[in-house]
Amino acid sequence: MLPLSLLRTAQNHPMLVELKNGETYNGHLVSCDNWMNINLREVICTSRDGDKFWRMPECYIRGSTIKYLRIPDEVIDMVKEETVTKNKQSRDQKGGRGGQNQRNRPAARGNFGGRANKPGGQQKLFQKNKPTKLA
Amino acid sequence: MNKIELEGTAHLLDELDKKLMVLLRDGRTLIGYLRSVDQFANLVLHKTIERIHVGKEYGDIPRGIFIVRGENVVLLGEIDIDREDKLPLTEISVDDVLDAQRKEQELHIEKQRLISKALKERGLQMNADLVQDDLY
């Protein structure tokens, strides 16, 4: 999961954006692009020293002026869930293809052919391939 | 170690899921787990804290998840977890460290004021607006 993909996942979530000049913008992310340009809604802008505030219904921030973005903790959990479901989908697909192979060339399974038909055996095989990293 | 050394930011991939200290151009220190990087060295830091150092004391402020734009990073390095609790520094409360930081900044400003005054007396003018307080 690349940083910009995470940002895309954070759409419709509240976030804090600090610019290189020290100003911060609090708002909900509407959209973002590959250059990190972003649109925010319901924004509160805070001056560098934190002593002045401005409220605006929406704003656009050019990506190159951003220092960092802070996003809520739950966004990373959404990524985890997404990765798990994605992997599950691709796993199911692979499983289907595997089944076909088994039917087409039963001899190819050789010594392991018997084992693969047991529900337990196949499950174990897939658990080994389960990804642990977010990336 | 990898036998083939990867070029440039690709080194950062070795640091994935490790606890890193990141120093930003504005002088701030972030400590968190590196979850992701891209070709611009944009970083995703998880369970991040901001550590403020004043002299031999420091304070930690929990900050959560950061997406740091790569160009603002000065340096980053892995934190040795085994040696982390043997720091020659003392942790103090966030309020105290913010207080100490404010005093330090006031001292710094006062020093700058005296310097520019002395320079002015010798016919040199320092324009405060042109003096970057950006560290790097």
pLDDT of the residue at A86: 75
In-domain check, residue A93: no
CB-CB: which of B38, B46, B67 is closest to A68? B67
Ranges of beta strands (E only) in chain A are 14-19, 24-32, 38-46, 53-61, 66-71
B9 touches chain A (CB under 8 A): no
Please indicate if any CB of chain B lies within 8 Å of the CB of A51: no
Interchain contact A133–B (C-beta under 8 A): yes
CATH code of the domain covering residue A42: 2.30.30.100
Residue matched to tokens 């089944």: A99
Task: Give me the pLDDT at residue B3, please.
Answer: 54
Is the pLDDT confidence value at A131 over 60?
no
- Which chain B residues contact residue A133 at CB under 8 A? 16-17
d(CA A121, CA A112): 10
Say if A4 is an interface residue toward chain B (CB within 8 Å): yes
Q: What is the pLDDT of residues B56-84, one digit of tens each?
A: 999 999 999 999 999 999 999 999 989 88
Handedness of CA A107, A112, A116, A118 (dihedral sign): positive
Averaging pLDDT over each range in A73-82, A97-106, B33-42, which range is the top one? B33-42
B99 to B45, B51, B89: CA distances (angstroms): 27, 14, 17
Looking at residue A77, what is its pLDDT?
87
A47 falls in which pLDDT band (50, 70, 90)?
very high
Which structural domain range is residue A74 located in? 3-84
| Nearest residue in B to A16, CA atom | B66
Number of domains in chain A: 1
Judged by CB atoms closer than 8 Å, whether chains meet at B17 and A2 is answered as: no
| Residue A20 or residue A97, greater confidence | A20
Candidates A4, A22, A134; nearest CB to B42? A4
Q: Is residue B74 left, alpha or beta, with left meaning phi > 0 and alpha meaning psi from -120 to 50?
A: alpha
Q: How confident is the model at residue B8 (pLDDT cuts 50, 70, 90)?
A: low
CB-based contact, A134 to chain B, within 8 Å = yes
Are B53 and B89 a contacting pair, CB within 8 Å? yes
Instruction: State whether residue A14 sits within 8 Å of chain B by CB.
Output: no
Question: Model confidence over B71-123: pLDDT tens digits?
Answer: 999 999 999 989 888 889 999 999 999 999 999 999 999 999 999 999 999 99
The answer to whether position A48 is within a domain reads yes
Residues of A in contact with B66 (CB under 8 A): 68-70
Do the interacting molecules here have an ipTM over 0.90? no
- Please report residues of A whose CB lies closer than 8 A to that of B42: 2-4, 36
CATH code: domain B8-134 is 2.30.30.100
On whether any CB of chain B is under 8 Å from the CB of A36, the answer is: yes
Q: Which of B65, B68, B109 to mutate to test the interface with A (most CBs of A within 10 A)?
A: B65
> In the structure, how many helices (H) and strands (E) does chain A have?
4, 5
Nearest to A76 among B24, B65, B69 (CB): B65
Residues 6+ apart with CB under 8 A from B54: B97, B100, B101, B104
B100 and A CB contact within 8 Å: no
